[in-house]
Amino acid sequence: MYLSIYLPSQIIFTFFDRQLLEEMLDNGFPLATELNILTELIKPPTIINKAVSMVTGKEGVSSVLPGSQLSNVPWRRQGVKYTNNEAYFDCIEEIDAIIDANGGIVSAEIHGNINCNVHLSGMPDLSMSFVNPRLLDDVSFHPCVRLKRWEMEKVLSFVPPDGNFVLMSYHISAQNQVAIPVYVRAMINFKDGQGRVDITVGPKQTLGKTVDNVVITIPMPKEVSGVSMTTSVGSYSFDPISKVLKWDIGKILPLKIPTMRGTCTLPADSKYRDAHPTIHVDFKIMQLAVSGLKVNRLDMYNENYKPFKGVKYITKAGNFQART
């Protein structure tokens, strides 16, 4: 049972679409779970569809079984036609890392997805190859991918679903293959009722790409009552309730390295000295896959037209921490 508690069928049907559940399950077992099959069986709930259902008394369930439900490619609906044929692939990687106070890597790993937005007519057969597929580890695929060809040739061969889907997910945990794209140099100490903060952030191993949407978050000790900072780039804010100091840098320009310096206010009788707050870093880098993954070719077979194809790379911070 998915839930740890028992829910009566009346409650389930109240909060979930009854028609949708009846088509997805057969005597409690999964039957039809593909999105394109369900949208053909049951019309999406719109105001017009609800009005027609109230007037005619029909529930909006198709009386014809979708052809794709009995085909070898149930994830793709039949008879797809587009005026503009296009396929976009986004390689999105999130890096989780812990950096010690000296700049050394304690741990680092990458979680990546290849998200697709495909609008192609007919029944196209796509083939995607990579420049360096051997670096991929712990890979999982959409059911459309032919596993045998990947195992033998390291090539993704598939008939894509129509619309948005995740083609592949992967994980890279070897630290020698994880390039840290930013550095953080921080000094935070507390002494004699006052704290001092000195933080510098800059790009590192970005291949010339711009680091954007940079935000530094520092949870300060509960004894801190206020802060006074000076920033060379961006602006800062301090929440006196949650005791969180946030530095919104934005974009890091090559000729202007962001720095933040200032003091923290503590009670006059405070002897608090042992705090070493962890710095949380958020950032985004466009047109860069920090793992080095790169698409080599994207070919289409089984159709005669030439589609527009595009590949985009994005690196984002996941759980990225710097110790002080």
Strands 279-286 and 235-239: unpaired
Is the pLDDT score of 283 beyond 90? yes
| Residue 15 pLDDT level (bands cut at 50, 70, 90) | very low
One-letter amino acid at 78 equals Q
Instruction: List CB contacts of 54: < 8 A, sequence separation 6 or more.
Output: none
The reported pTM is 0.79
Is the pLDDT score of 293 beyond 70? yes
Average pLDDT of span 259-265: 92
Specify the DSSP class assigned to residue 177: G
Is the pLDDT score of 201 beyond 80? yes
Look at residues 123, 110, 144, 41 and name the one whose alpha carbon lies nearest to residue 79.
123
- Look-up: residue for tokens 């032919």? 146
Look at residues 154, 181, 156, 155 and name the one whose alpha carbon lies nearest to residue 94.
181
Is the pLDDT score of 307 beyond 70? yes
pLDDT at 230: 94
CB neighbour class for 292 (10 Å; exposed up to 12, middle 13-18, buried from 19): middle
Tell me the C-alpha distance between 208 and 10, whole Å: 58
Is the pLDDT score of 4 beyond 60? no
pLDDT at 9: 61
- Look-up: residue for tokens 């790169």? 294
Q: What percent of the chain shows pLDDT beyond 70?
A: 75
Tokens of 230: 């000076």
Tell me the per-residue pLDDT of 127-174, one tens digit each, with 9 for 90 and over.
Answer: 999 998 888 878 999 989 999 999 999 999 999 998 899 999 999 887
pLDDT at 128: 95
How are strands ordered across the β-sheet holding 155-158?
155-158, 125-130, 295-301
Report CA torsion sign: 231, 94, 34, 120: positive
**Average per-residue pLDDT for the chain:** 83
Tell me the per-residue pLDDT of 26-73, one tens digit each, with 9 for 90 and over.
Answer: 667 666 666 666 666 666 666 666 666 666 655 555 555 555 555 677
State which H helix or E strand residue 114 sits in: strand 105-119
| Residue 24 pLDDT level (bands cut at 50, 70, 90) | low
Is the pLDDT score of 176 beyond 90? no
Higher pLDDT, residue 43 or 231: 231
Tell me the C-alpha distance between 43 and 97, whole Å: 45
How many C-alpha atoms does 58 have within 13 Å on its Cβ side?
10
Contact 156, 136 (CB under 8 A): no
Tell me the C-alpha distance between 215 and 47, whole Å: 42
pLDDT at 179: 85
Task: Give me the DSSP letters along 180-220.
Answer: --EEEEEEEEEETTEEEEEEEEEE-S-TTPPEEEEEEEEE-
pLDDT at 252: 92
